Amino acid sequence: MKSIIDRIDHVVLTVTDIEASTQFYEKALGFEREFFTGPEGQPRYALRFGQYKINLQDRATETPTKAKVPTIGAGDFCLITAIPLNDVITHLTANNIAIDVGPVARRGALGPIRSVYLRDPDGNLVEVSEYI
């Protein structure tokens, strides 16, 4: 059967401090913050990049569409860079953002990639990659 899904639109991270997480992703990866109103009229927060976003919630976020067991620090995802990975490494180093591992060879959805791994303030594992 052919896949019925085209792409990922957004993912959600449960974080300890929405503002601290927002500042990290702005500084580390150039994401843009977005505020919007949830279905119950509550404020919601997101990080935009390209055609995608990461929604942020904390334990107090009220929404009927929340993971059954939202867990801080359990995120592990890969992002494809819009610039050469060496430029990302230079940017991270200049901003005192630690690289946990890399650069290393890995396999992405479309083939071989070169990756570095870093952690956000809650310990979520963020892989930043370029296709080789």
Given the residues 34, 62, 127, 130, the one annotated as active site: 127
Decide if 127 is catalytic.
yes
DSSP 74-116: --EEEEE-SS-HHHHHHHHHHTT---SEEEEEEEETTEEEEEE
Which pair of tokens denotes residue 28?
A: 């580390």
Q: How far apart are CA 12 and CA 48, in angstroms?
A: 12
Query: Which residues carry out catalysis?
Result: 127
